[in-house]
Structure 1
């Protein structure tokens, strides 16, 4: 009977911009030494300077990562599973806007201005707006998360 797999997530501090290189070197060390206690290597796309390892214990993480170039240290404690799920899962939100809706721009150079939605580009998560507070017709394209509906 196979022993149940017990694992936690541990963060390894690395030089910024070297996350993928460090992950590849860790993978090579795991394969070379035939280590079975590491279950995954995660390089979060929006987190600079960290590589996350799913392993059976912190001693395994230190054994593997010690001496690898660009490894700067180890964080104390565990990374919560909920935080990992946020990093690796892609949440797709259907655009809540349609052409003709009135919105307010929440950031960028047009912050605070009201605009009318011209069209939505779902593939790029962008929305084309017609700025209403401009003295001449002005169309801008902004990320969809930088607009909010105007209260009626």
Structure 2
């Protein structure tokens, strides 16, 4: 049995149009019965690019020809390790627990010191008591918007 070569190719697209381009490519694959395309990836952290797993660069060129919002293919290959980094699940925010002192790193409270009142791990949120406020102020923000400053 012959094993087919599968490589990953990056295609430059208009920023914000990645999903639309992927859907148009899928439609073209279905209508033209193109069998050498194995997957189309729209990596969440990579704006302006769509990754195509195909049998060769000629297949990608044929596939993207005339598709709206496609700016062209990027020369060379994307390594499988890079693909795995893009699609693997990231570890959620910093390791914090109730009572820790933290610094807010984003949003309207950026730069302020706070103490963690509650940590909702399933939702990825922390309830903070802002220490620099003139009155008791509790806010709920995503855990990735805080960084530990001192342990209490």
Aligned to 1:62: 61
Paired positions, count: 151
Instruction: For residue 41 of structure 1, report the CA deviation from its aligned partner.
Output: 0.5
**CA 1:20 to 1:111, structure 2 compared with 1: closer, same or farther past 3 Å?**
closer
Structure 2 distance, partners of 1:78, 1:145, is 32
> TM-score, length-normalised on structure 2?
0.84
Provide structure 1 residue ranges, at least 5 long, that are not aligned to the other structure.
Answer: none
Provide structure 2 residue ranges, at least 5 long, that are not aligned to the other structure.
Answer: none
Structure 2 distance, partners of 1:94, 1:26, is 35
Question: In 1, are the aligned partners of 2:17 and 2:69 still within 8 Å (CA)?
Answer: yes
Structure 2 distance, partners of 1:39, 1:100, is 49
Instruction: For residue 42 of structure 1, report the CA deviation from its aligned partner.
Output: 0.6
- Secondary structure at the residue paired with 1:69? coil
Structure 1 distance, partners of 2:130, 2:76, is 48
Q: Are residue 110 (structure 1) and residue 109 (structure 2) matched?
A: yes
Aligned to 2:5: 6
Structure 2 distance, partners of 1:28, 1:137, is 56
Give the aligned CA root-mean-square deviation in angstroms: 2.1
Aligned to 2:33: 34
Question: In 2, are the aligned partners of 1:95 and 1:122 still within 8 Å (CA)?
Answer: no
Structure 1 distance, partners of 2:134, 2:40, is 53
- Secondary structure at the residue paired with 1:96? coil
Instruction: For residue 129 of structure 1, report the CA deviation from its aligned partner.
Output: 0.6
**CA 1:95 to 1:48, structure 2 compared with 1: closer, same or farther past 3 Å?**
closer
Deviates more, 1:35-44 or 1:97-106: 97-106
Structure 2 distance, partners of 1:60, 1:12, is 12
